């Protein structure tokens, strides 16, 4: 196919030549916006179709995102009342008497804290070991891909795994034990432990990225001052990746707060917090309960409650929590972000 | 004992401790595979390969398992999970195909063509879509999309044409695919954008200098060079779509029914239930031994599928390494 030629008369004037550069190299990056003097109208038809479809996809994406946000905000503000936030839910057919969602809100906070408390140390240890030690190499590579596999495992599979794991006799202290010695396996502790597997890959990825971006001379300077490797990790490296760790932790918390499958299977997804045993504090952890996600699930037309107004209100609160965590990520990592779409931020590695 | 902990750690001890914690990750994976396989074994043992086939009505079989009591006979284990597997394959396949087209175009837009004001909107939008919990997607699907489709899109003729097979209410395959596509798009966009950014600028500038237009330079040079990243992203998104349980169980109609492609466009309105959705819905009756074995068998299928997709994503990413880009 011939290259389309343009008549000489309509050839646009050449852009002014750039200033001659010194041979020392380019100064900074080339400017991002290049004004290219070409019109889409001169393109081939297939190119034009592609170009239009691309614009359509981009605008549709914006429309979906903004649509979801506006719709949830509208419905949420319409149904959200302050007393919903401060009253416990009760089972009642009459929606005006079935209470608010104080207990699910507390459940969300509790499960998020338990999950992230378990996930963060393990993730930091794994990332530090892989970057700073990493011998033997095959083991490091194996652990790296192992975490990738955990990131790709469906949450419902993790939930069923938790159920069979924590019904073993040695984990009896974590949940309710029936008279015959059968372990129930469902409690805040067991659900939190499994939730840590959801958050672990995100904290790991963020920490590893941070450690890898520390230049080698920082470590060498520390060794030259006589610090051991362990002291270097503790006093030099980990403090300087604090921002990365917080980013990963905030993302992991958002992921935990938004997970439903593990709650339904491992926490019982009950309306209120049901403490188990007599030790204050531990009894809540050993008991079952629900979170905002399970509350929304149960109050949607698919669940038993079927109270869409309450589901909208709770979903709005949940969305606010998740967005606040994402906003925190932005505040922490403002300097480091290049495109804002780093894969480690979206839970993909 | 406590004094020993307080003295400065030797490198060796620190390395061993950190390494042991890192290895606990591997232990978790091994335990997960072993425990789930042990629990799933009775179901496969009683059914053999016919577990994957279609025999009888799957919902009736599951109901019979709930009522079979603590000592189920071999007949109680009978399960032909093909409708559930078929539904999983359908939703995953369509969502991945639509998502791939959608996310590739959006990624090109974000990287190359979007004007600055739009870029400032679209990047937070992608991150918003990635952050929204699946239960909220499900809520919007069941309260907005499904009633709309049930009342306005499905005609009375379509409802009567299949009324003796399956009632149509709006929830079904189509809504599930649409919502699932939106859910998996952000991951694909992120990985594709990463891949497009990692292609050396000079390659595309070379094409531009030879006189092709901007779209063609992007499409034939940068996108083609970033193919491994795009495939890796699609594979990873497939794994996400495979395991999505809550949203599907809310919007897909929750019936163990295999939609018939011969129904024409009505195909997309027929209700389904995927493997993951079945597990989450029947988890409350997991104390019945037959049910328990069946649910763990479904989880094992999902786990093995996700494992191979992780492997596939890793293999797909390998060619990118030769450009010297990270991950």
B34-56 residue pLDDT tens: 999 999 999 998 888 888 888 87
DSSP SS3 for B163: coil
**CA B327 – CA B318 distance, rounded (Å):** 9
Residue A28 has pLDDT above 60, yes or no: no
Residue B197: in which H helix or E strand, if any? helix B173-198
Segment A143-148 shows an average pLDDT of 90
The two three-digit tokens of residue A258, written as one number:
């938004």
Asked if A193 and A162 count as a contact pair (C-beta separation under 8 A), the reply is yes
Residue B3: predicted pLDDT? 59
- For A79, A101, A270, B137, the CA distances from A293, given in Å and listed in that order, are 17, 11, 11, 11
Whether cis (ω within 30° of 0) applies to the bond prior to A87 is no
Asked if A329 and A342 count as a contact pair (C-beta separation under 8 A), the reply is no
Tell me what the pLDDT averaged over chain B comes to.
87
Residue B86: predicted pLDDT? 92
DSSP 8-state assignment for residue B10: P
Selected for mutation to probe chain A from B133, B178, B179 (highest A CB count within 10 Å) is: B133
Residue A25: predicted pLDDT? 43
Give all domains of chain A, ordered by start, each with its CATH number.
80-346 (1.10.3720.10)
**CA A346 – CA B77 distance, rounded (Å):** 41
- Ordered by start, the domain boundaries in chain B are 83-323
Contacts of A231 in chain B (CB under 8 A): 8-9
A156-196 residue pLDDT tens: 999 999 999 988 877 877 777 766 667 788 889 999 999 99
Euclidean distance between the first and the last CA atom of chain A, given in angstroms as a whole number = 42
Residue B317: predicted pLDDT? 80
**Residue B302 and residue A346: Cβ atoms within 8 Å?**
no
**Which has the closest alpha carbon to A314: A6, A2, A106?**
A106
Q: B110: how many CB neighbours lie within 10 A of its CB?
A: 26
Segment B283-291 shows an average pLDDT of 86
CA distance B110 to chain A (A): 8
Q: Does the domain at residues B83-323 carry the CATH identifier 1.10.3720.10?
A: yes
B78-95 residue pLDDT tens: 888 899 999 999 999 999
Residue A280 has pLDDT above 80, yes or no: no
β-partners of residue A183 are A177
Residue A282 has pLDDT above 90, yes or no: no
Residue A2: predicted pLDDT? 47
The answer to whether B127 contacts chain A (CB < 8 Å) is yes
**CA B57 – CA B59 distance, rounded (Å):** 6
pTM of the full structure: 0.86
Asked if B8 and A230 count as a contact pair (C-beta separation under 8 A), the reply is yes
A96-121 residue pLDDT tens: 667 778 888 999 999 999 999 999 99
B204-263 residue pLDDT tens: 899 999 988 888 889 889 999 899 889 988 998 999 899 898 999 989 888 888 888 887
Residue B327 has pLDDT above 50, yes or no: no
| ipTM of predicted assembly, 2 dp | 0.89
**Residue B24 and residue A122: Cβ atoms within 8 Å?**
yes
DSSP 8-state assignment for residue B67: T
**Residue A312 and residue B139: Cβ atoms within 8 Å?**
yes
Segment A240-259 shows an average pLDDT of 91
Residue A3 has pLDDT above 70, yes or no: no
The answer to whether A145 contacts chain B (CB < 8 Å) is yes
**CA A13 – CA A15 distance, rounded (Å):** 6
Q: Which A-chain residues 305-334 have CB contacts (< 8 A) with chain B? A: 308, 311-312, 315, 318-319, 322-323, 325-326
User: Could you give the count of Cα atoms lying within 13 Å of B217 in the half-sphere of its Cβ?
Assistant: 18
B91-142 residue pLDDT tens: 999 999 999 999 999 999 999 888 989 998 999 899 899 999 999 999 999 9
**CA B81 – CA B50 distance, rounded (Å):** 9
Torsion of CA B206, B207, B209, B212, to 10 degrees: 180
Top-ranked range on mean pLDDT: pick from A28-32, A331-335, B2-6, B232-236: B232-236
Contacts of A143 in chain B (CB under 8 A): 22-23, 25-26
B145-168 residue pLDDT tens: 988 988 888 877 777 777 777 778
**Which has the closest alpha carbon to A202: A133, A159, A257, A240?**
A257
Between A332 and A153, residue with greater pLDDT = A153
Residue A61 has pLDDT above 90, yes or no: yes
Q: Treating both helix axes as pointing N-terminal to C-terminal, what angle do B227-243 and A155-166 enclose, rounded to 10 degrees?
A: 50
Contacts of B313 in chain A (CB under 8 A): 148, 152
Segment A297-316 shows an average pLDDT of 85
**CA B193 – CA B184 distance, rounded (Å):** 15
Question: By CA distance, what is A42's nearest residue in B?
Answer: B213
Residue A14: predicted pLDDT? 53
The answer to whether B33 contacts chain A (CB < 8 Å) is no
Segment A68-80 shows an average pLDDT of 92
**CA A323 – CA A317 distance, rounded (Å):** 10
Q: Which B-chain residues 164-223 have CB contacts (< 8 A) with chain A? A: 182, 185-187, 189-191, 193-194, 197, 211, 213-216, 219
Radius of gyration of chain B (CA): 24
The answer to whether A249 contacts chain B (CB < 8 Å) is no
Tell me what the pLDDT averaged over chain A comes to.
82
**Residue B25 and residue A139: Cβ atoms within 8 Å?**
no
Asked if B310 and A148 count as a contact pair (C-beta separation under 8 A), the reply is yes
What percent of chain B stands above pLDDT 90?
39
Residue A228 has pLDDT above 70, yes or no: yes
Question: Which of B124, B143, B310 is closest, CB to CB, to A148?
Answer: B310
Asked if B235 and B309 count as a contact pair (C-beta separation under 8 A), the reply is yes
**CA A338 – CA A205 distance, rounded (Å):** 17
**Which has the closest alpha carbon to B106: A104, A218, A168, A341?**
A341
Residue A40 has pLDDT above 50, yes or no: yes
Q: Can you give chain A as a three-state secondary structure string?
A: CCCCCCCHHHCCCCCCCCCCCCCCCCCCCCCCCCCCCCCHHHCCHHHHHHHHHHHHHHHHHHHHHHHHHHHHHHHHHHHCCHHHHHCCCCCCCCHHHCCCCHHHHHHHHHHHHHHHHHHHHHHHHHHHHHHHHCCCHHHHHHHHHHHHHHHHCCHHHHHHHHHHHHCCHHHHHHCCECCCCCECCCCHHHHHHHHHHHHHHHHHHHHHHHHHCCCHHHHHHHHHCCCCHHHHHHHHHHHHCHHHHHHHHHHHHHHHHCCCHHHHHHHECCCCCECCCCCCCHHHHHCEECCHHHHHHHHCCCCCCCCHHHHHHHHHHHHHHHHHHHHHHHHHCCCCCCCCCCHHHHCCC
Q: A3: how many CB neighbours lie within 10 A of its CB?
A: 7
The count of CB pairs under 8 A between chains A and B is: 308
* Longest Cα–Cα distance in chain A: 94
Q: Which residues of A275-308 are buried (b: 16+ CB within 10 A; e: fewer)?
A: bbeeeeeeebbbbbbbbbbbbbbbbbbbbebebb
Residue A246 has pLDDT above 80, yes or no: yes
């Amino acid at each position: 196919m011939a290259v389309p030629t343009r008549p000489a008369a309509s050839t646009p004037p050449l852009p002014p030549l750039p200033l001659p550069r010194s041979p020392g190299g380019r100064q900074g990056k080339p400017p991002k916006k290049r004004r290219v003097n070409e019109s889409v109208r001169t393109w081939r038809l297939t190119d034009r179709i592609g170009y239009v479809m691309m614009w359509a996809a981009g605008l549709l994406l914006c429309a979906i995102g903004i649509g979801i946000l506006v719709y949830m905000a509208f419905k949420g503000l319409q149904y959200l009342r302050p007393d919903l936030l401060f009253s416990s839910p009760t089972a009642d057919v009459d929606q005006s008497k079935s209470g608010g969602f104080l207990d699910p809100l507390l459940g969300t906070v509790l499960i998020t804290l338990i999950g992230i408390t378990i996930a963060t140390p393990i993730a930091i240890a794994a990332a530090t070991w892989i970057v700073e030690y990493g011998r033997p190499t095959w083991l490091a590579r194996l652990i790296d891909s192992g975490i990738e596999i955990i990131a790709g495992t469906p949450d419902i599979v993790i939930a069923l795994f938790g159920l069979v794991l924590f019904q073993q006799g040695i984990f009896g202290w974590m949940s309710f034990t029936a008279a015959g010695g059968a372990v129930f396996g469902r409690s805040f502790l067991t659900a939190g432990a499994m939730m840590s597997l959801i958050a672990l890959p995100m904290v790991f990825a963020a920490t590893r990225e941070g450690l890898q971006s520390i230049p080698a001379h920082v470590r060498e300077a520390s060794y030259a001052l006589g610090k051991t490797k362990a002291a270097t990790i503790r006093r030099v490296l980990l403090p300087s990746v604090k921002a990365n760790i917080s980013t990963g932790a905030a993302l992991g918390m958002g992921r935990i707060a938004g997970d439903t499958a593990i709650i339904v299977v491992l926490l019982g997804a009950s309306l209120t917090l049901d403490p188990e045993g007599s030790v204050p504090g531990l009894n809540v952890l050993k008991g079952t309960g629900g979170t905002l996600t399970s509350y929304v699930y149960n109050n949607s037309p698919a669940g038993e409650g079927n109270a869409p107004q309450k589901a909208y209100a709770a979903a709005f609160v949940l969305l606010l929590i998740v967005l606040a965590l994402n906003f925190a990520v932005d505040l922490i990592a403002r300097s480091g972000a290049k495109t804002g779409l780093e894969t480690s931020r979206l839970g993909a590695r | 004992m406590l004094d020993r902990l307080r003295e400065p750690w030797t490198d060796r001890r620190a390395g061993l401790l950190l390494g042991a914690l890192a290895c606990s990750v591997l232990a978790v994976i091994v335990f997960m595979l072993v425990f789930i396989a042990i629990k799933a074994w009775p179901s496969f043992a009683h059914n053999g390969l016919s577990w994957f086939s279609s025999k009888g009505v799957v919902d009736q079989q599951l109901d019979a398992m709930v009522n079979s009591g603590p000592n189920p006979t071999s007949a109680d284990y009978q399960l032909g999970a093909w409708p559930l597997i078929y539904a999983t394959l359908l939703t995953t396949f369509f969502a991945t195909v639509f998502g791939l087209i959608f996310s590739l175009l959006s990624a090109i837009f974000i990287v190359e063509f979007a004007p600055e004001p739009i870029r400032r909107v679209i990047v937070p939008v992608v991150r918003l879509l990635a952050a929204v919990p699946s239960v909220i997607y499900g809520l919007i699907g069941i309260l907005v999309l499904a009633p709309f489709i049930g009342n306005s899109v499905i005609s009375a003729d379509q409802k009567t044409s299949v009324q003796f097979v399956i009632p149509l209410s709006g929830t079904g395959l189509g809504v599930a695919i649409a919502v699932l596509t939106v859910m998996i798009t952000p991951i694909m966009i992120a990985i594709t954008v990463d891949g497009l950014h990692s292609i050396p600028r000079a390659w595309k500038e070379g094409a531009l200098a030879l006189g092709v237009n901007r779209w063609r330079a992007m499409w034939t040079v940068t996108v083609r060079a970033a193919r491994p990243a795009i495939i890796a992203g699609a594979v990873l998104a497939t794994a996400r779509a495979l395991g999505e349980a809550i949203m599907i169980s809310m919007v897909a109609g929750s019936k163990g029914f295999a939609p018939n492609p011969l129904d024409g466009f009505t195909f997309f309105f027929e209700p389904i239930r995927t493997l993951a959705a079945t597990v989450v819905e029947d988890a409350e009756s997991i104390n019945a031994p037959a049910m328990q074995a069946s649910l763990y068998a479904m989880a094992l299928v999902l786990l093995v599928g996700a494992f191979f997709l992780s492997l596939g994503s890793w293999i797909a990413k390998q060619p990118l390494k030769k450009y010297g880009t990270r991950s």
